[in-house]
């Protein structure tokens, strides 16, 4: 088989894996948009905040230690213990649920029935607040995140493809884990939305707030639940991306990778986020591989948006989004 074809196959496989990582971020957006019509600008920062909290808890760091030390003249930084990964994930989830409750109580409860742009602006404010709050709480240094996920070349695939083609494909173990986690996450979310009482209530709220209220669905509860779910998805995305690059401010920018995925997959479809992620991942990687080298490279960021725009032209609601027809 020609080298270029083999390289191309390797690029496609890696594109699919990268797409799954993008989809993980996009899922959080979809959940909140589906249930409340809010485009949550803060989703990327939530991933950062969740990952920072996870590392802080695992390492036994004292939250707000710089502030405490500056005010009281103390020198406290660590509690002196370490928390195992699973327990730290559970504790972080409690923090994310608390955050969801606070966000709902202080912000969104007061903005029911406001125009979407007002809700969007509120999430921008929330994003900037969380950025600063996270820094004050855990510090802005780059933190190593190790919850025991494997990383690096998968030797089984390398050996297998080498045996078949004479060229070993590179697939990152972390990407494989991310794929499995994303599949489980999407499956669970779909089952939850379709078959659980809360899931059906969530869909009812998404269809019509007032109708849902009239049949006894608690809007407050559903919104806290949805923000908590989005917090959980943010935590998963934060773990995957944070393991790759360390936990640092730039994690919040992964939201930029989710936007074309949402444009393509639709803002209201959980499977759409996955399919959109895969198309964007493969599309941008293949373009960089085949055309990028001829035009100076670094095409991925903009090409993802070009791809999404092409889909938008033909299907404005995205591949899996609900077509909105408003009669006047």
Partner 1 sequence: MRQRLLTAVTAAVLVAGPAFADLTIIDTSYRTGPYAANGIPFSDGYQDYFTLLNERDGGIGGEKINLVECETGYNTEKGVECYEGTKGAGNGALLYQPLSTGITYQLIPKATADGIPLHTMGYGRTSSKNGGVFPFVFNYPANYWDGASHAITHILEQNGGDISGKKIALVFHNSAYGKEPIRTLEELGKKHGFEVMLLPVDHPGQEQKSQWLQIRQQRPDYVLMWGWGVMNQVAIQEAVNIRFPMENFIGIWWSGSENDVKAAGAGANGYKALAFHNLGSNYPVYDDLRKYVVDAGKAAGAGDQLGTVLYNRGMYAAILAAEAIKTAQEMHGTAAINASQMRDGMENLDMTEAKMTALGVPNFGPEFKVSCQNHGGNGYGAVSQWDAAAGEFKLITDYYQSDQEVISALVAEDSAAFAAENGITPGC
CA 213 – CA 210 distance, rounded (Å): 5
Asked whether the beta carbons of 251 and 271 are under 8 A apart, the reply is no
Helix axes 219-245, 43-58, angle to 10 degrees: 70
Residue closer to partner 1 by CB (options 194, 250) is 250
Least spacing, CB of residue 99 vs partner 1, in Å: 21
What's the min distance (Å) between Cβ of 1 and partner 1?
Answer: 14
Token pair belonging to 238: 């934060």
Q: Please, which residue, 201 or 240, has the CB nearer to partner 1?
A: 240
Q: Is the dihedral of CA 134, 184, 11, 169 positive or negative?
A: positive
For 178, the token pair is: 């991310």
Query: With respect to partner 1, which residue has the nearer C-beta, 34 or 257?
Result: 257
CB nearer to partner 1: pick between 268 and 299: 299
Short-list 50, 88, 104, 95, CA closest to 234 = 50
The residue (of 76 and 94) whose beta carbon lies closer to partner 1 is: 76
Smallest distance, Å, CB 271 to partner 1? 23
For 15, the enclosing helix (H) or strand (E) is helix 3-36
Of the candidates 273, 274, 277, 284, the residue with the CA atom closest to the CA atom of residue 307 = 284
Instruction: Enumerate the H helices of the chain as residue ranges.
Output: 3-36, 43-58, 65-72, 85-106, 116-138, 155-165, 173-195, 197-207, 209-214, 219-245, 255-265, 270-290, 300-314
- Count of residues in the chain: 328
Find tokens 């559903």 and name the residue.
Answer: 222
CA dist., res. 212 & res. 209, Å (int): 5
| DSSP annotation of 83 | -
Give contact residues for partner 1 (rule: CB under 8 A). Answer: 3, 7, 10-11, 14, 17-18, 66, 69, 73, 131-132, 135, 140-142, 144-146, 151-153, 170, 172, 241, 244-246, 248-251, 253-254, 257, 284-285, 288-289, 292-293, 296-298, 300-301
CB of 297 to partner 1, least distance (A): 5
Closer CB to partner 1, residue 14 or residue 123? Answer: 14
Q: How far is the CB of 258 from partner 1 (least distance, A)?
A: 12
Rounded Cα gap, residues 20 and 176, in angstroms = 9
Min dist CB 13 to partner 1, Å, is: 10
Q: Least distance in Å: CB of 161 to partner 1?
A: 13
- By beta-carbon proximity to partner 1, the closer residue of 34 and 131 is 131
* Nearer CB in complex with partner 1: 44/265: 44
Q: How far is the CB of 96 from partner 1 (least distance, A)?
A: 22
**Number of other residues whose CB lies within 10 A of the CB of residue 12:** 15
User: What are the structure tokens assigned to 179, written together?
Assistant: 């794929």
């Amino acid at each position: 088989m020609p080298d270029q074809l083999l390289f191309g196959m390797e690029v496609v496989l890696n594109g699919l894996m990268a797409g799954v990582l993008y989809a993980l971020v996009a899922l959080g957006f979809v959940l909140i948009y589906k249930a409340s019509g809010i485009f949550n600008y803060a989703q990327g920062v939530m991933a950062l905040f969740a990952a920072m909290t996870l590392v802080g808890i695992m390492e036994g760091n004292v939250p707000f230690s710089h502030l405490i030390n500056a005010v009281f003249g103390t020198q406290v930084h660590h509690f002196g213990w370490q928390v195992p990964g699973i327990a730290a994930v559970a504790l972080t989830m409690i923090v994310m649920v608390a955050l969801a409750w606070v966000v709902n109580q202080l912000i969104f409860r007061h903005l029911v029935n406001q125009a979407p742009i007002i809700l969007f602006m509120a999430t921008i404010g929330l994003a900037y607040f969380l950025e600063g709050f996270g820094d004050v709480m855990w510090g802005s240094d780059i933190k190593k995140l190790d919850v025991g996920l494997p990383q690096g070349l998968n030797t089984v695939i390398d050996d297998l493809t080498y045996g078949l083609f004479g060229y070993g494909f590179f697939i990152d173990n972390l990407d494989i884990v991310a794929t499995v986690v994303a599949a489980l996450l999407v499956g669970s979310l779909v089952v939850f939305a379709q078959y659980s009482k809360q899931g059906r209530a969530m869909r009812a709220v998404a269809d019509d707030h007032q109708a849902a209220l009239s049949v006894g669905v608690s809007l407050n509860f559903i919104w806290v639940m949805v923000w908590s779910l989005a917090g959980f998805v943010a935590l998963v995305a934060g773990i995957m991306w944070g393991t790759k690059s360390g936990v640092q401010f730039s994690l919040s920018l992964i939201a930029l990778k989710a936007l074309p995925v949402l444009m393509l997959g639709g803002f209201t479809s959980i499977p759409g986020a996955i399919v959109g992620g895969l198309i964007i991942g493969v599309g941008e990687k293949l373009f960089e591989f085949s055309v990028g080298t001829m035009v100076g490279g670094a095409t991925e960021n903009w090409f993802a948006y070009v791809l999404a725009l092409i889909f938008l032209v033909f299907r404005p609601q995205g591949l899996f989004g609900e077509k909105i027809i408003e009669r006047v």
